[in-house]
Structure 1
Amino acid sequence: MHVRTPEQASFADAIDAFCRARTGTRAQRDALTHDGTEAHAPGLYAQMAELGWLGVGIPAEYGGSGGGMSDMCLFAERTAYGLAPVGGYITTAVAAGPYAKFGTPAQKETILGGIARGRVEAISISEPGAGSDAAAITCRAVRTHGGFVVNGQKTWCSNAHFADHVLLVARTNTVSSRHEGLTMFCVPAGTPGMEIRGIPTMGGKEVNDVFFTDCFLPESSVVGLVDQAWPQLMSGLNSERLLLAASMLGRGRRAFDDAVTYVKERKQFGRAVGSFQALKHRIADLATELDCCELLVYRVAAMADEHPDRMLPREASMAKLKTTETAKRVALEGMQMMGGYGYATEYDMESHLRATVISTVYGGTSEIQRDIIGKTFGL
């Protein structure tokens, strides 16, 4: 396991204690999430903001603690392990990156300061015809007097239904390269011409279609440079992949611990089922894989902290690929070891499975991560 600083160890302990007290039982979590249909509990999130945790990656000048990627990963990991319904955190942290690097002073004050106080942000890139191929974006923002008029549809936008702003990526110019001519816009919730419709999923209310119909955005809503959103997006891939990996490290460890608890208590043929070699070896393999994931995630996080502006396409993709696939395997194996009880909603394993299976899709599928890693070797 990776070595934490004394401050990080105390931070992790505090998060664990908080989660044990407030989200430690199914009844507590159901009360916070309308029986599991909501991925985010605003009241719980506000309590974390009061403790200063949501500003862990926000500069001190905007009300944060100025922590690095390792600290953000720690928060994502431990809240995921504690099953805290704070689904808005990762999208918020990912959206914060472009504002921190390319935003105007006013945008930084509004967005970064708001995040530290508990505001949720969303980022909208995908479209019905632009998923893994993000450069295929067709949602148009046409320049007009004083700003831009946006028309088009975005999809799979996490948390847009309760976010304060949507960081929109739209096409502002049609040029020879598909990676050029894209622009980022900060769109406040409730902006006329923007409509948000939820997409029902196994995970409840998490993702949305977002429709833009003659939606006017003033010039001041541009984040960074017009037509330069692609390199701005690429600069933030480290944080997205690492935070997703850290979150699934926490969820995978929780699924593992739940499975171990069960196989120690469940008896068949006069003994605990975990004492049989078939399950004992399965547990040993999963424990080894999870420790490998932890070392990988925090090694890459340390690299990002050491060189914040360095692109880490190979390493960040490796962390996302390895950890999400491992977490999915842990949940599948956990369900198998628990038999029918692993499928029953009485236990958390079926929830672990739903959460980990989709993690290999969002934020770049496992296939895309493998393709990126391969390209870094000149293939």
Structure 2
Amino acid sequence: MNFNLTDEQRMLQQAISRLVRTEYGFEHRQSFSALAEGFSSAFWQQLSELGLCAVALPEAYGGFGGGGVEVMLVMTELGRGLTLEPYLQSAVLGSGLLAQLGSEAQLDHWLPRLGSGEVRFAVAFEEPQNHYQLHAVQTHAERVEGGWRLSGRKAVVMGGHAADQILVSARVAGASHDPHGISVFMVDPEAAGVARRAYPTMDGRRASDLFLDDVFIGAEHLLGEPGEALAAMRYQQGRAIAAQCADMVGAMQVACELTLDYLKTRRQFGQPIGQFQALQHRMVDMQTELELATSMTVLAASYADADESTERSRALAAAKYICVRAGRYIAEQAIQLHGGIGLTWEYSLGHYAKRLVMASHELGDDDHHLDAYAALIEAA
């Protein structure tokens, strides 16, 4: 198998790498985090002007028609920069759901605007009781004249505080864990009956809980056929998992680089601590975990846009499991090797560790994906 990047892919990687290096230093990130939106609208505009928000969109709607590898290249560099912008939620998961489920009118109206960065989407699948189970939906939708009425609560909607539209899963039929009867609706967060409670997450980004109280949704804001959205939700979450693994790998790369540099410069007993064999072994173990996570991320990227299959689901579950375990190990070892400075607010390493911990609980933790992988093995 040829793992070399094409000329176009190398140009894409260089463009996003250069942008992050020049515009997203750690001090910039700290100032962006303090803004009202919790991220930089100017940087989001730069992403869109370079066409990076349209990487995964179909060419017919102004996108580049990129696949999992192209998204991986972008997400890895965004992870290295520890960026705060909701790229994963809007440009990968949200746009993917719309592209798969939307009508021609919906695609014509929304996809070009997503690609240009004019609008941002958030995705609300999690509920307080569902523990990563996409089919465990208690938010319900009742058909009324001209549309639907939605009521319920969604939890930890990443980027939901600043989204122009929120894609909400709701049950139109069946019991609370029935895989059938689930739809996805486009909800205007400013509509009557919608309330958001925003809060910071541990890694500096922001999320919100979404409260829906008899919210009217026009029929034109239903995505796909009523009650038939679960398959698309699972497929697009798989694409998002592959992208998230790349983000984690970018953060792991920097954590390893910071640690190696610290071992070379911190002196004890008259010599750099990196000359102590025990610490060299721990650094090698960190690099080994990084290489394993990188390999699994490449595998996930190669499956991200493949047809739905048991093999695809296994690969994505394995990739997320490996990346979570590797990220946790690298974060813990990096902080231990740094000592107290690794946890100081002014030093970037602790923030990378928090990003890895937060990502380990998004889109399913390691226990969830290990169980999913085991179930898929048994089914085979």
TM bracket, shorter-chain basis: over 0.9
How many angstroms does 1:29 deviate by? 1.9
What residue is the counterpart of 1:64 in the other structure?
A: 63
Question: Structure 1 residue 194 and structure 2 residue 202: aligned?
Answer: no
Q: Matches of 1:349 and 1:213 in 2, distance apart? A: 42
**TM-score (ref. length: structure 1):** 0.94
Structure 2 equivalent of residue 322 of structure 1? 322
Single out whichever of 332-341 and 38-47 deviates more from structure 2.
38-47
Identity rate, percent: 27
Gaps of 5+ in 1: none
Unpaired runs of 5+ in structure 2?
A: none
Structure 1 residue 205 displacement after superposition: 4.9
Retained in 1: the 8 A contact 2:241–2:316? yes
Per the TM alignment, residue 201 of structure 1 is displaced from its structure 2 partner at its CA by: 3.3
Cα deviation, residue 122, structure 1: 0.6
Any conservation in 2 of the 1:2–1:294 contact (CA below 8 Å)? no
Q: Cα offset for 1:131?
A: 2.5
8 Å contact from structure 1 (residues 198, 209) kept in 2: yes
| Residue 107 (structure 1) aligns with | 106
**8 Å Cα contact 1:259-1:338 kept in structure 2:** yes
Task: Point out the more displaced range, 313-322 or 182-191.
Answer: 182-191
C-alpha distance in 1 between matches for 2:238 and 2:159: 21
Per-residue Cα deviation, 1:40-63 (whole angstroms, up to 9, x for no partner): 321101111001111110111211
User: Post-superposition shift, 1:39?
Assistant: 5.0
- Note the aligned Cα RMSD (angstroms): 1.9
Whether 1:3 and 2:25 are equivalent positions in the alignment is: no
* TM-score relative to the length of structure 2: 0.93
Shift of 1:177: 6.3
Q: Where does 1:1-150 land on structure 2 (aligned, <5 Å)? A: 2-24=3-25, 26-34=26-34, 40-86=39-85, 88-92=86-90, 93-118=92-117, 119-150=119-150
- Measured after TM superposition, the shift of residue 84 of structure 1 is 2.9
8 A Cα contact 1:198 1:205, kept in partner: no
Instruction: Report how far residue 3 of structure 1 moved.
Output: 2.6
Which digits, 9 at most, give the CA deviation of each residue in 1:103-148, with x for residues without a partner? 0112212332122111321111111222233322111111111111
* CA 304–137 in structure 1, closer or farther in 2 if over 3 Å, else same: closer
Q: Which moved more, 1:345-354 or 1:307-316?
A: 307-316
Query: Cα deviations across residues 303-361 of structure 1 (Å, max 9, x unaligned)?
Result: 344x3455611000111111122122111111000001101112111111111112221
Q: Which moved more, 1:128-137 or 1:44-53?
A: 128-137
- Corresponding position of 1:163: 163
SS in structure 1 of the partner of residue 54 of structure 2: coil
Displacement of 1:193 in angstroms is 1.3
Moved >6 Å (runs of 4+):
none
Q: What amino acid sits opposite 1:140 in the alignment?
A: H
Query: Is contact 1:55–1:115 with CA below 8 Å preserved after alignment?
Result: yes
SS in 2 for 1:65: coil
Instruction: Determine helix, strand or coil for the equivalent of 1:54.
Output: helix
Whichever residue aligns with residue 21 of structure 2, its letter is R
